Amino acid sequence: QGGGLVVLKDKEFKQSFIDGINKSWNPGLINKRSKNFKNASFFEIKRLMNDSKDNMWVGAKGKVSKVEYLKSTSSYNITTYDSIKDVNGNKILNTVFALEEDSSENIWVGYWIDGLVKMSFDKKKQIYTTKNYQFSKDDPKSLSNNYVRDILEDKNKNIWVGTIGGLNKVVTNGNGSISFDHYLNDINQKNSLSNNYILDLFETKNGTIYIGTYGGGLNKIEFSNDNEPRFKHYTTKDGLPSDVVFQIREDFEGNLWMQHIREISRLNPKTGEIIYFDNQDGFTVDEFKDNAMHFTSSGIMICGGVNGFTFFKPNNISVNRIKPQLTITDFKLFNESVEPLEKIKNHVILQKSINDTKEIELPYYLNSMEFVFSSLHFSNPKKNQYKYILEGFTDKWQYSKGNERRFASYTNVPPGKYTFKVYGSNSTGVWTDNPKQIKILINSPWYLTPWAILLFILLAISIIYLIIRNRSNQIRLQSELELESALHEKSDEINLMKLQFFTNISHELRTPLTLIIGPLQQIMKGNANPEYLKKLNTIMYKNSVRLLKLINQLLDFRKAESGKIKLAVQQGDLVDFVKEIFNAFEEIAIEKDIKFLFLSQEKTLGAWFDNDKIEKILYNLLSNSFKFTPKGKSVKVTLEKVNKGENALAVIKVIDYGIGIPEEELESIFERFYQTKKENSSIEIGSGLGLAYIKHLVEIHKGEIQIDSELHRGTVCTFSFPISKSVYDVDSIIESQLTQYDFKYIKQEIDDIKVNEIIQQESKKTKEIEHDKETPTLLIVEDNIELRNYLYNYFNLNYNVITAENGVEGLALAAEHTPHIIISDLMMPKMDGIEMCKKIKTNIHTSHIPVIILTAKAGLENEKEGLETGADEFVLKPFNIEILKLRIENILRTKQQWIQRFQTDINIKTFTKLSNKLDQQFLEKAIEIIKKNIDNPEFTVETFASEIAMSRSALFKKLKSITGQSTTEFIRIIKLKRAIKYLKSGKYSITEVIFMVGFSDPKYFRTCFKKQFGESPSQFVKSLNKEM
């Protein structure tokens, strides 16, 4: 390295050779005999290589040189190649570490840092080309690493490149380009390369390739069936002195010789035996150099080092085959030696010396032990080796050599059975045939003995059993309690539903009773004219029929529930039957401006069915659809035949595009007593029997019914039933053919609808009586058109009556007209009377309006709920209309009396208490605003309205309703009452008081004062003085 190249003739080298091993040659001889050598100057020579023409190639820093021996002149010709370029076109200046000639006489050059170069020559060896190959992160088939340590062409003409980043095999592609297969270390693959840092590649005479690595020992390539390389490893665990293998060479007998950092080792490939030699065997070289091992043609092995080189003939080396005698010299527990018969914690561990002991029994707490051993072979004891294992505790053999470690220590060994084994070798690596071994038994503590464990298991099982049994009892008890609670809840729910049902039935019954009793009372008075008497008789008859119908519905439902309704199926044309029912509704569809369609996949359909049940089912579904389908929308009836197994089914659908049913209510709509909780729903607020009754009828007909709906989109009611005769019982079959349909049920129901329409039309023709402005306005909110018209006709003589059919309309009319009093039904669609009353009483513009609630719900709870929302009266249906009239008059009279007292009383605070809290707060605020501005002559109605945050008109209506005075009159009377207070104090003169209460004109003040209190201010003061 830096000293150039020395060419030493073979004859001169042989003269200095002495037979045997442990001979070294001093490089100082070169200087002493330099006249015999031809020298050439190179810098950093790392590799020499003889080519097929017996030329020597020299790899140095930044260049490659070829040295040719010229026999004619007995001289050397040197050709230097120092212009080799890398992939980027730059001249390579780094050191050559590898040289190899392939079978095509190309020269492969491996560089440190600059990768691999292929030199190709023409036939005359005059012109050459080079190609540089380097690692590229963008090309997975590029060289694995740019630091090349060795290159080898094997007998199969494969070129292998060893780098510090793995093994590469050159692959020549079809287009002549070159790529690389990579073989790298993989910790998950035991047959992968042991270490990526490759130092040497070597092929034996039989074609086996070996790889020397830095840190991974020796690798042997073995090819599998798929011709993929698999790597067998030889490391220090197998007897190598070091896992750094600089170079590999083969002797004449086929043994492999390896050069390590400080040792030379020999591997017998056939037996796997490894022997190594170091300076204890006579070497004078302290440390060997890489790439400094050579096997001459005469069988001499030369190994170069940092301070000379060693050479020897391998076949002259003899191996010591004497196997060592192994002995265990000491046994320790917790670092204390144990002597035979010695008691340790009341236990005798050894009965005789440890070397003669075959078994050791230990208690569980003496579980940290150490074995000391020695190999009785003294030719070179430092090179003796040991391998040992405690089977059952570890699964890997441990290795040590010489005096480095002649003991094996194990701590915290759990209870169990173990075997300690130890092998020993002599200085040349000859191992004992059999190990020295001792069986060890570490007893378990008493609580880990089989009997104790069995007892613990039984105890654990008992405890677990008790826990499970206790938990099971708890779960059972909890389940029973939950079941009982669920049953109670269900019972409470059913009772509540029944209560609601009977309440609604009561409502359904009380309303027609009201419309029978009320007109009857008027007739009994004998003052009704003939035309009005006819109307009263019509109302009474209609509601008598309605009562009868409700009672019949209840009886029919009870029959259905108790199973007393029987089927009577006949054969008939189902298409024709459904078409007739469809025709019965066409007139209603035209009147309501609803598009009505009937669609059937069959022109005729012979079927067995109960015409009475199907009529009632279809009527109820259709009437419900018409009720909740808005004007301009459509209702469809479809019929189809569906085969289900051996039986045929008729599937009828009633489809509407009305307001729909909320999703959360779909599961409950068929339950008896169920009523909707939503205002905008296709389920009518009623008794809660309709759909439950229909479901019973469908089930009696061995069918099924289903309702699908989407709120604001519409509803599809589907019911199906079998139409084969074989499905029905013999006693429910009527053999005669069904040809005529009387439709009594539908005709009666449709007639009722038409009568209602007539009554509604007649009610619109009722003449309105002209009233003056002083007539009180009465708002009637009632969803039943007959009762609404009856109340309208009765009160229209004495009141300016306006009507609404639900709470939403009633609330809007109350805000618009500010009536003097409101009569409202309790149960109504869209918004009930309680909700409407609450909104009226909590709105400052309408809070003063008295509200009378008409209800069919008897009971303190309902009355309490209504009164809590601010209702002034609760009237139970059926009611006496004369008494209702008196109650209205009393409310209005009481209100008028309060207004009169407020106007005439001289004390502001005496009569300001109102029943409605919101009105009270409004009045107090209004008085407070005036008092704050009492001396302000510029305080106007506009200022007042602005400060109280109301419009002038709203303020006027509010004050007029509460106090009977306009805004101006209200301001004036409050000022005058304050003037009374000032005058009564005696502190101020009349003139002072006039200006203190905001009057700028004394004359106007006196006029207003006398008009309000009946005397002038001066007369009032005089009367005060007399009283004093």
Categorize the per-residue pLDDT at 138 as very low, low, confident or very high, splitting at 50, 70 and 90: very high
Distance CA 655, CA 635 (A): 6
Which residue would you say has higher pLDDT here, 784 or 195? 195
**Residue 20: left (phi > 0), alpha (psi -120 to 50), or beta?**
left
Closest CA to 661 of 617, 701, 616, 624: 624
Which residue would you say has higher pLDDT here, 422 or 688? 422
Distance CA 294, CA 279 (A): 19
DSSP structure string for 680-743 = SSSS-SS-S-HHHHHHHHHHHTT-EEEEEEETTTEEEEEEEEE--GGGS-GGGEEEEE------
The number of angstroms, rounded, from the C-alpha of 552 to the middle of its chain's C-alpha atoms is: 55
Distance CA 390, CA 367 (A): 13
Q: Which region among 129-138, 324-333, 552-561, 754-763 has the lowest average model confidence (pLDDT)? A: 754-763
| Digit-coded pLDDT (tens) for 620-652 | 899 888 888 888 899 999 999 998 877 899 999
Check whether 1001 has a pLDDT greater than 90. Answer: no
- Mean per-residue pLDDT for 708-718? 89
Distance CA 77, CA 62 (A): 19
Check whether 910 has a pLDDT greater than 80. Answer: no
Q: What pLDDT score does 392 carry?
A: 93
**Looking at this protein, which amino acid is placed at residue 1000?**
S
How large is the angle between the packed helices 530-562 and 690-700, nearest 10 degrees?
50
Q: What pLDDT score does 439 carry?
A: 96
Contact of 165 with 196, CB cutoff 8 Å: yes
| Digit-coded pLDDT (tens) for 800-814 | 999 999 999 999 999
Contact of 248 with 198, CB cutoff 8 Å: no
Q: What pLDDT score does 169 carry?
A: 97
Closest CA to 640 of 719, 711, 546: 719
Give Rg (Cα) of the chain: 60
- Mean per-residue pLDDT for 480-488? 87
Categorize the per-residue pLDDT at 1019 as very low, low, confident or very high, splitting at 50, 70 and 90: confident
Q: What pLDDT score does 7 carry?
A: 56
Contact of 143 with 161, CB cutoff 8 Å: yes
Q: What pLDDT score does 681 carry?
A: 44
Distance CA 617, CA 639 (A): 14
Distance CA 483, CA 597 (A): 49
Check whether 772 has a pLDDT greater than 80. Answer: no
**Looking at this protein, which amino acid is placed at residue 806?**
N
Helical (H) or strand (E) element with 971: helix 967-985
Closest CA to 933 of 999, 998, 1005, 981: 998
Mean of all residue pLDDT scores within the chain: 84
Categorize the per-residue pLDDT at 654 as very low, low, confident or very high, splitting at 50, 70 and 90: very high
Q: Name, in order, each residue with C-beta under 8 angstroms of 257's C-beta and a sequence gap of 6 or more.
A: 248, 249, 250, 251, 264, 265, 266, 267, 293, 295, 301, 314
Categorize the per-residue pLDDT at 696 as very low, low, confident or very high, splitting at 50, 70 and 90: confident
Closest CA to 185 of 142, 215, 210: 215
| 91 phi and psi angles, rounded to 5 deg | -70, 135
Q: What pLDDT score does 908 carry?
A: 59
Categorize the per-residue pLDDT at 122 as very low, low, confident or very high, splitting at 50, 70 and 90: confident
Distance CA 675, CA 673 (A): 7
Distance CA 705, CA 701 (A): 11
Q: What pLDDT score does 923 carry?
A: 85
Check whether 685 has a pLDDT greater than 50. Answer: no
| Residue 216: count of CB within 10 angstroms of its CB | 23
| Digit-coded pLDDT (tens) for 171-197 | 999 888 999 999 999 999 999 999 999
- Mean per-residue pLDDT for 960-964? 80
Closest CA to 625 of 673, 671, 662, 661: 661
SS3 885: helix
Check whether 43 has a pLDDT greater than 80. Answer: no
Distance CA 557, CA 559 (A): 5
Distance CA 550, CA 543 (A): 10
DSSP state of 665: G
Joined tokens for residue 372: 């000391």
Output helix, strand, coil percentages for the chain, rounded to the nearest 5. Answer: 35, 30, 35
Which residue would you say has higher pLDDT here, 355 or 668? 355
Closest CA to 273 of 432, 433, 434, 429: 429
- In sequence order, the β-bridge partners of residue 877 are none
Angstrom distances, CA of residue 83 to CA of 56, 79, 228, 250, 588: 19, 12, 38, 36, 108
Check whether 19 has a pLDDT greater than 70. Answer: no
Contact of 1012 with 1006, CB cutoff 8 Å: no
Joined tokens for residue 393: 């505790």
SS3 356: helix
Q: What pLDDT score does 667 carry?
A: 73
| Digit-coded pLDDT (tens) for 488-541 | 887 887 777 666 666 666 666 777 788 888 888 878 877 778 877 887 887 888
| Digit-coded pLDDT (tens) for 261-315 | 999 999 999 988 888 888 877 777 888 988 889 988 888 999 988 888 888 888 8
Please tell me whether the peptide bond between 878 and the residue prior to it is cis, using omega within 30 degrees of 0.
yes
Categorize the per-residue pLDDT at 878 as very low, low, confident or very high, splitting at 50, 70 and 90: confident
Kindly list the strands in the beta sheet with 75-81, ordered across the sheet, starting from the edge strand earlier in the chain.
47-50, 56-60, 63-70, 75-81
Distance CA 269, CA 273 (A): 8
Q: What pLDDT score does 651 carry?
A: 95
Q: What pLDDT score does 686 carry?
A: 43
Distance CA 43, CA 48 (A): 13
Angstrom distances, CA of residue 334 to CA of 337, 360, 409, 411, 413: 8, 15, 10, 8, 12
